Structure 1
Amino acid sequence: MVCNRCLLVVRQTLQALNFDVKNIGLGWVEVGPEPNPDQLHAIASAFKVVGFELIDDYKTKLVEQVRNLITETVQYSDLSQLNINFSTLLTEKLQKPYPYLSNLFSEQEGNTIEHYIIQQKVEKIKELMEYGDLNLNEIALKMGYSSSAHLSAQFKKITGFSPSQYRNSKSKRKALDEL
């Protein structure tokens, strides 16, 4: 789950199966009563219909938590105000050493955490450019870059376009769950 609409769909799906959703967040949910194996199968089937999957493997859950923390931080925080780096954030929130998280993420995703963070940032930059309220220097500051040149270099490395070329192109943003 990568957005508030995802949370809504998960909540509605579980409620339709007569579960009480006690607590829900990006990548996790608490329900009552505790589902039995048949109910877990029904939940998994219902989730599959709406494009989600039920994750019960510990390592897969941990990787999903890493993805969700990064997505939530990049998409919903002002990174210029965040006085912490991602390795520290992930270590503190997940209570696991960063090298372990990094190796597990790379093993499961075929990509590094750092590259995933850059992909998330690029999609947020595209969104901010489409709104047109901020210039590139302001976007760079908001996204935690040291300069607009650094932002532009990473942007071009991921998209193949400079930010100004992207603005003038017909390219579209990716859905966050496609990253």
Structure 2
Amino acid sequence: MVVKTELEKLGLQTISVELGEVELENTISEDQKKQILNHLRILGFDLIDDKKSKTIEKIKTLIIDLVHRKNNELKTNLSDYLAENLNQDYNSLSNLFSEVENTTIEKYFISQKIEKVKELIIYNELSLSEIADILNYSNVAHLSNQFKKVTGFTPTYFKQLKDKKRIQIENL
């Protein structure tokens, strides 16, 4: 909504504004592109113009959307999901991602899942078993092992750290 509003302030008509992607009704000049860039940077956004960067951002957007918004409702494996959604061979996507990001798509996917696990632990509404189920872990042990590999803590210890930081209202 913020991006759409800024573009409208600049007098540009949008066809669609999605996460990480904008489609405008008309072609824009280099001056308009610079003006858009200046307005968006003030808000913490940036323009991605080259093909490699666009592809990387699309991969990240698909993974973030999958993990954080669709609760990891993956019907196939990740490689097929990305290849199908981006209409490209997974090996070329994987090589490009690794080359530019210095990590693999799989590690990026795992790090996003662990961030989601942290968020759900902090909310304290679900058990580890429920979290493992939501994020398609085969079991709690698999989730715990992956969590410890990425964070250095067990999920239980992470939860205790969070609880220690919270001060009860009567102790304020």
TM-score using structure 1 length: 0.87
Q: Aligned partners of 1:151 and 1:170: how far apart in 2?
A: 18
Considering only CA atoms, is the larger Rg found in Structure 1 or Structure 2?
2
Q: How far apart are 1:102 and its partner, in Å? A: 0.4
Q: How does 1:1-179 map to 2 (within 5 A)?
A: 8-79=1-72, 81-170=73-162
Where does the alignment leave 5 or more consecutive residues of structure 2 unmatched?
166-172
Q: Aligned partners of 1:122 and 1:100: how far apart in 2?
A: 26
Where does the alignment leave 5 or more consecutive residues of structure 1 unmatched?
1-7, 173-179
Q: Aligned partners of 2:75 and 2:26: how far apart in 1?
A: 40
SS of 2:109's partner is helix
Q: Bigger CA drift: 66-75 or 8-17?
A: 8-17
Higher relative contact order (CA 8 A, sep 6+): 1
Q: How many residues align?
A: 164
TM-score using structure 2 length: 0.90
- Large movers: runs of 4+ above 2 Å: none
RMSD over equivalenced CA pairs, Å: 1.6
Matched AA of 2:49: D
Q: Aligned partners of 1:26 and 1:134: how far apart in 2?
A: 28
Q: Aligned partners of 1:126 and 1:44: how far apart in 2?
A: 33
Q: How far apart are 1:33 and its partner, in Å? A: 2.6
Matched AA of 1:108: V
Q: Aligned partners of 1:138 and 1:72: how far apart in 2?
A: 20
Q: How far apart are 1:32 and its partner, in Å? A: 2.6
Q: Aligned partners of 2:93 and 2:154: how far apart in 1?
A: 32
